[in-house]
Amino acid sequence: MDKPVAENRTVTHGAMHVALRHDSAHKHVTGSAEYIDDIPEPAGTLHGALGLSDRAHAELLSVDLDAVRKAAGVIAVLTAQDVPGFNDIASTGQHDEPLLAEKDVRFHGQPIFAVIAQTREQARRAARLAKIDYRDLPHWSDIEGAIEAGSALVTQPMTLLRGDPDSEIDKPPLRIRGSMAIGGQEHFYLEGQIAFAMPGEDEDVLVWSSTQHPSEIQHMVAHVLGIANHAVEVRTRRMGGGFGGKETQGNLFACLAALAAKTLKRPVKFRPDRDEDMVVTGKRHDFRVDYDVAFDEEGRIHAVDSTYAARCGWSADLSGPVTDRALFHADSSYFYPHVRLTSKPLMTHTVSNTAFRGFGGPQGMLGAERIIEEIAYALGKDPLDVRKLNFYGAPGTGRTTTPYHQEVQDSIILRLVEELEASSDYRTRRQAIVAFNETSPVIRKGIALTPVKFGISFTMTAYNQAGALVHVYQDGSIHLNHGGTEMGQGLYTKVAQVVADTFNVDIERVKITATTTGKVPNTSATAASSGSDLNGMAAYDAARQIRDRLVDFACRQWQVGKDDVEFLPNRVRIGAEIVPFDTLVRAAYYDRVHLSAAGFYKTPKIHWDRAAGRGHPFYYFAYGAAVSEVSIDTLTGEYMVDRTDILHDVGKSLNPAIDIGQVEGAFVQGMGWLTTEELWFDDKGRLRTHAPSTYKIPLASDRPRIFNVRLAGWSQNAEPTIGRSKAVGEPPFMLAISVLEAISMAVASIADYSVCPKLDAPATPERVLMAVERLKAM
């Protein structure tokens, strides 16, 4: 009998739906996981640094780089004139984002030139020696400034319309108009942006990039160098976090590294420090939501008219699809009989904002929850009752059509909410909190239960495709490669589980290899929560092809029917005989059976007509609910999250351990967005919150004191996704809205819950204190 692939291994065959550890978890905690900056540098490696603008909007009159070129260790200084192809790294084809500025600059920190030196320190020091003359031009850095200046839009806006909101909004007896400011967010990945380029022969260049989208890096490098895509190979083994910040923002560093490497014929690495990373790269979009809502005495919504204005920055980047997705989620979990939703993607003289976990969905959903909160306080009701009254209904109720005319056929939100309402003892706790607030002069408490309904799929239909490559070797070991990238979320582990499950072998047999454009081409970004859905199915398709060939071989060799071939754990039953998996594989090889396959998957059923605002953009919806309880100090505005209970829907989980970790992490990151993380630009357009000293992400001590997270074990996807699972990357981020709503209730207790506090996000202690003082004065 052949020896097993791995000695003393834990038996984990049939690995799909099993709680396995992340494949690199032991490497993460021991520091042995290899990131790009850990790759041994070849002899002669050079290092790059950026020369940045110190104006928000200005014409470049002169750029004197003599002192830069003469600085110690400097090998070359690159400007736009050194680009052999196109000086453009715009991700959407609008050609509005030059790699290096030429005639003007449009945000404080825009790259004008790049320095290549023998060491990183020499390059950074030299970059500060440039003498640049500017002619200052008018600038604005926020939504209000953009509106006041009559700012242009960075891309075409979108409107979703259903029913007749113009005439219907006057019919109900009650109506509220309001506005809410929603702040942006820095990605703050642990591993910053980095790229390392190695020149090859002829036009070839190999690029290691910390990116969620290797194929886009490939396209951009080829575009900038003026060469074909086949000359560029991009590799990504893992990232130390991404959260959307590495979907397009890696283009700058990869293209400059490749440009320098090919120009100088030496390896080149670009690794900005944290300050430069935060200044140069885009964030989550700030939004201002203006809403007009009509409703009846029970709290049932009749008509909504909302505008979602966004601070997009100086170029389009991904602002079009981000603001589109904000509108797609501006209904949250609620049916609007008559609705108009309009986006306003505003140009500002700030860094171009970009993808961030949820991709506009959190901002859209938060606007909807503010509407519910306003109605509840106006009627003196528990916001949960107003929520449940307005939930999408079951098919046949007439309450299933979204503002974009997709039917919600799979809604389980009411079941989730009512199950969590009971398990968390929400009603009793809320009564106790109201009683506590009546007698507590300083500390006030609040509690809120909020829902999540999040659409899964790229809204650009073409991106909903994936490829995978699977090889089975003679010893029964398996090589897996696919187009998804690993940023700590466990995608590689989940897809390996799919392959192991297909062959019914131990997970240790499956070798997970770095994502590379040289193996699986034309990949989509690992984004839109679609990584497992797309790549899992592509890997399954490849593994299934090989399995079917093995079955056909077994039928020929053993003279049995297909029903007599069964894949058992690490072995195969063929008729009455049990054959080890590796023995069957080796026998198939000697019979010249092809043991390699390329798999492919494209999401079915989806289509979208943006101009008409109609279609079926999402394959399915993921749902969730959270109850959060908070305490605030009315003298300082400080607060803590006392307890959070979460019930989240991931369908039939591919890996419950990883999925629960994703829910926990998303919730805490969302909590940071809504409470502590604040981006602040000064009157010169400079980002002043550009380091951990001025920008506060949540700490371990900020997590809920009691944190109960459960997956809805009874759920499975109605659509035939891989293992009937559902996406988990983005949907749980919005569970954190429960924290903001709970803080709002605590503040509202100051005025006996008679007034909606209208807290803007983030609800920093300063904003909470100001809201408390405002309500005290009423």
Q: Mind telling me the catalytic residues?
A: 730
Distance CA(565)–CA(585), nearest Å, equals 14
Contacts 24+ apart (CB under 8 A), 774-777: 775/747, 775/748, 775/750, 775/751, 776/750, 776/751
Residue 243, both tokens: 């959260």
**Contact predicate 499/596, CB 8 Å:** no
**Contact predicate 232/221, CB 8 Å:** yes
- Written as one string, the DSSP assignment of 206-231 is EEEE--S-HHHHHHHHHHHHT--GGG
Q: Of 647, 606, 622, which Cα lies nearest the Cα of 724?
A: 622
For residues 324, 329, 331, 337, the Cα torsion angle rounded to the nearest 10 degrees is 50
Pairing of strands 104-105, 174-182: unpaired
Q: What's the CA angle centered on 742, arms 739 and 744, to 5 degrees?
A: 110
Q: How far is CA 480 from CA 471, 507, 542, 615, in A?
A: 7, 12, 10, 35
Pairing of strands 74-78, 46-52: unpaired
Distance CA(195)–CA(323), nearest Å, equals 29
**Contact predicate 697/188, CB 8 Å:** yes
Q: How far is CA 179 from the centre of its chain?
A: 26
Q: How far is CA 77 from CA 27, 49, 67, 249, 698, in A?
A: 38, 10, 11, 22, 39
Q: How far is CA 661 from the centre of its chain?
A: 15
Distance CA(195)–CA(37), nearest Å, equals 9
Taking the CB of residue 173, how many other CB atoms lie within 10 A of it? 9
Collapsed DSSP state (helix, strand, coil) of residue 639: strand
